[in-house]
Structure 1
């Protein structure tokens, strides 16, 4: 299964309303009810969370 990571520019993030922003963030992290504890799975989740943190910080900096 391929994993696609979305990327938005700073301007795109600033133009999103709060509802759309939250939907995009939740869609991006998609936490499965079955957690795979392999190193690969944990690394992917860390990467997603770092991206989410950067998106939130970008919104707060506006």
Structure 2
């Protein structure tokens, strides 16, 4: 949430850590209730993804 300084996600577990039933995986923060509602809907309906070790584009000397 780069534009909304009061928003974000806290991930409670690291990759490979055991998660017990009832333990939270993440906490979502938002400054406005409707934004929190939208974030919760997305979290509940979208598939998770992982990005690691990939450079999509490199920024060098003022150019992409």
TM-score calculated relative to the size of structure 1: 0.31
Q: Which fold has the larger relative contact order, with Cα–Cα distance below 8 Å and residues 6 or more apart in sequence? A: 1
Q: More helix by proportion, 1 or 2?
A: 1
The structure having more radius of gyration, on CA atoms, is: 2
